[in-house]
Amino acid sequence: MEARMNGPANPDVITAIQYLYKAIHSAGVDKHLLSLIHLRTSQINGCSPCVFASIESARKAGEADERLHNVVAWRETPFYTEEERVALALTEAATRLQDGAPGVTDEIWEAAADHFSEEQLGAIILEIAMTNFFNRINRTTREQAGKTW
């Protein structure tokens, strides 16, 4: 499989994205949790470049391999805190919006609201949305895993 495009997006788009990421990272959500959210979203969407990039950046930030390798099965492993589990449940519900999936139920939302402030929830939701955004671009353009941006 070959990539369909060679260059980055319009510079104005890149600037806008940088502002969104600045907002995400200034809301007080742990960077390791944001990495797990990015990884889980990308796994669901089958986005190999984002899976690759999230694992590489999380490792560089000190995340443990056992946690990275098991996020796909986070419900069945002991490696995640209750807060992380709530965020991963929100991530999955917000990402799987197809074919009649219930999306973010009141139960999932209430659990998230019990663990995170509104500002943090806004950042988590934006991280999920931005990851879905990039996953869809990468799948459309056949972006390859292993590249650095």
Amino acid at 66: E
CA distances to 23, 41, 115 from 106, in Å: 26, 20, 14
Question: Poorest-confidence range of 78-82, 88-92, 112-116, 142-146?
Answer: 142-146
pTM, 2 dp: 0.89
Between CA 140 and CA 45 the distance in angstroms is 12
Sign of CA dihedral 66, 68, 74, 78: positive
Q: What tens digit of pLDDT does each residue of 33-54 get?
A: 999 999 999 999 999 999 999 9
Q: What tens digit of pLDDT does each residue of 129-149 get? A: 999 999 998 888 877 787 655
| CA–CA distance, 39 with 54 (Å, rounded to integer) | 6
Query: What is the pLDDT, as a whole number, of residue 140?
Result: 85
- Tracing tokens 């879905």 back to the chain, one arrives at 132
